[in-house]
Structure 1
Amino acid sequence: MKSKYVNPFTDFGFKKLFGEEANKHLLIDFLNQLLPPQHQIHDLFYKKTEQLGSRELDRKAIFDLYCESQEGHKFIVELQKAKQNFFKDRSVFYATFPIREQAERGEWNYQLQPVYCIALLDFVFEETYSERYLQQVQLRNEVCEVFYDKLTFIFIEMPRFKKKLDELNSHFDKWLYFIKHLENFDDIPQNLRESIFEQAFAVAEIACFNSQQLEEYENSLKYYRDLKNVIDTAASEAEERGIGIGVEIGKEQEKHQRIQIALQQGVLTPSQIASLFDVDEQLVLSLKQDI
């Protein structure tokens, strides 16, 4: 049976809910659950998601969502569907763009506006016994005092969020439950019958899409499912080959073998595989010749 509502972990679904001007009140409400009182958002505007380096040859960054509040605070909001090597490094790299764009010509006192990098993850960083699904990271000194409070990373590991409908104790809990289970809802649960969620359900209803939106969503959903299949299969086959936990093998060699497994499946293009594993496409093409 086809779903009534979009999968919010697809690019289309995520941006439909949180990336359209008409629905920005949904993003504001969600972000305000994560922000301290002094940084609550009253209004925001979306900024260009493709950020270029300061020189022509510098690497660019493409964010899922990039916005700025009425007060000038910067927010990068990312949906990460698959675990990537050096994801934390990439998050720090991305944070440099909203910092650098604040530089002013001429005399400047270097005062910066707060920057938040918020990532909704469809995976866990590390397989541990921790049940903590929300991580907020700031620069701290050796005695764990906040050294700098204008740069904050917030990571939400959705697989760790396991609360049931009758265990939702906060508005933030309800948002996470909504996001995690949206695709499986047939009707709006009583616990989510609040104005903001009723509006979100209305935005997410597939029956309301026009033909172009429906085609875009179906393509986005297919890519999401193919990606998950590649990841699951590559992980399973890698374990069978003895790659991974408890095996003394270089990380680069492990990555190369996972790339080759993904290539053998023939589901994703070399360009998509390069993006998934955060490597240059030429490396993927080179590994393809060795299969």
Structure 2
Amino acid sequence: MKRINNDIRSQRILSEIEAVGHISTTNDAFAKKLFSHKDILIDFLNAILQRESDNLITDLTYTDTEQHAEYSYEKISRLDICCTLVSGEKIDIEVQVANEPSWIGRSLFYWAKLYTGSLLKGETYDGLKPVICINLLKFNIFENDSKQNPHCTAKICNMDDREPITPLLELHFLELQKFKKKKISEMSRAEKWLAYFSGKLTRGEEDAMQRDLILGKAIDIRNSFMKDPENYEAYLNREMEILDYKSMMKHKLEEGEKKGREEGREEGREEMLIDNLSNLIKTQSFTVEQALSALQVPKEQWESLKAKLK
């Protein structure tokens, strides 16, 4: 614990918490703690999946969140929260704060692992149950102007009439950056959960939400989370991992841009050299070798330039 507190990164994180007034609700360690409360998870799922009446989720079972690879070359997928409903449907909730370009592929990979793992040996395909993946994202993956709704749902559909052909695959993408606040009284249940995770609520708005039994409990859990030493350490470790990841990605981006600029300059120099060679050959009737020699081009580059001149 002393090591963490003395780390300059943890000091930065604690300063940000103090400035905002609360921890980040999209931190993995916190999200797992929050959703370990079954009543909160059930309420969240009913809201996001719009379950009502006979379709309402009333109970669930937490399942192993680590999917082991069958072969050594397979990736090992680790799911944040995974549960099975009474109906047999499996639900995976992933919380992600660092932008990852291949996120849709990753979500499909997790879906596939859960889907194929739901069929036991000897069972028929009729026994397969739907798998639903919910991605809670602190970044945007759909940049198209027409996709400004923070909640996007994907299913396998008929391209002619856009109607789903099966309930077996269902992906939900919750892009928290796109969430726009409105009055608490005008928010749907799902919007209130998006407001909670977005961190965009004022103190007064949170006070109004605390009148709700479940949402009030979620706010209380967030406010008391860091008082437990294990939670405190897990939260800071995860936030420091995210800082390191972002720093690494920034460094790679800067290196890529630098390399691109250098390659661009080199390509520009080569194009100018080829133009000069062509000019000498056309206007001075030089042979290719004479032109290369006149421009003092190193002999190790001659064959390459000859090929490009042709």
Amino acid at match of 2:235: Y
Q: Deviations over 1:261-284 (max 9, x none)?
A: xxxxxxxxxxxxxxxxxxxxxxxx
TM superposition shift of 1:30: 0.7
Report deviation, 1:142.
2.2
The structure in which a higher percent of residues are helix is 2
Match of 2:113 in 1: 97
Residue 78 of structure 1 deviates from its aligned partner by: 0.3
Partner of 2:62 in structure 1?
46
When residues 31 and 231 of structure 1 are mapped into structure 2, their CA distance, relative to the original with a 3 A threshold, is farther
Root-mean-square deviation (CA), in Å? 3.0
Unaligned runs of 5+ residues in structure 1 are 248-291
Residue in 2 aligned with 1:281? none
* Counterpart check, 1:129 vs 2:145: yes
Contact 2:119–2:125 under 8 Å retained in 1: no
Q: Distance in 2 between matches of 1:213 and 1:97?
A: 29
- State the distance in 2 between where 1:8 and 1:30 align: 14
Matched, 1:33 2:44: no
Q: Percent identity?
A: 28
Deviation at 1:158, TM superposition (A): 0.8
Residue-by-residue CA offset, 1:66-102 (whole Å, 9 max, x unaligned): 1111222100100121222322112111111221122
Normalised by the length of structure 2, the TM-score is 0.68
State the TM-score, normalizing by the size of structure 1. Answer: 0.72
Counterparts of 2:201 and 2:252, CA distance in 1: 25
The amino acid of 2:116's aligned partner reads R
* Mapped partners of 2:185, 2:86: distance in 1: 34
**Conserved? CA contact 2:34–2:40, under 8 Å:** yes
Deviations 1:25-44 (A, max 9, x none): 11111111122445432111
- The 1:206–1:234 alpha-carbon spacing in structure 2 relative to 1, beyond 3 Å, is farther
Answer whether contact 2:184 2:192 (CA < 8 A) is retained.
no
Write the deviation string for residues 129-182 of structure 1: whole angstroms up to 9, x where unpaired.
242111101001121121112210000111111224457421111111111117
* Equivalent residue, structure 2, for 1:87: 103
Map of 1:205 onto structure 2: 223
Q: Is the 8 A contact 1:5 1:182 kept in 2?
A: no
- Cα distance between partner residues in 1 of 2:78 and 2:88: 20
The match for 1:174 is: 192
Aligned mates of 1:173, 1:28 — CA distance in 2:
16
Residue identity opposite 2:131 in structure 1: V
Distance 1:63 1:207 in 2: 22
Structure 1 residues 187 and 153, CA gap change in structure 2 (3 angstroms): closer
Q: Write out aligned runs for 1:92-171 (5 A).
A: 92-130=108-146, 131-143=148-160, 144-166=162-184, 168-171=186-189
Alpha carbons of 1:110 and 1:157: their partners in 2 closer, same or farther (altered >3 Å)?
same
Q: Which amino acid aligns with 1:68?
A: T
| Unpaired stretches in structure 2, ≥5 consecutive residues | 1-14, 265-310
For these two proteins, the number of residue pairs brought into alignment is 240
Counterparts in 2 of 1:53 and 1:224: CA distance versus 1, 3 Å: closer
With a CA cutoff of 8 Å and minimum separation of 6, indicate the structure with the bigger relative contact order.
1
- AA at the equivalent of 2:198: K
Task: Letter of the 1:73 partner, please give it.
Answer: E
Cα distance change, pair 187–155 in 1 and its aligned pair in 2 (3 A): closer
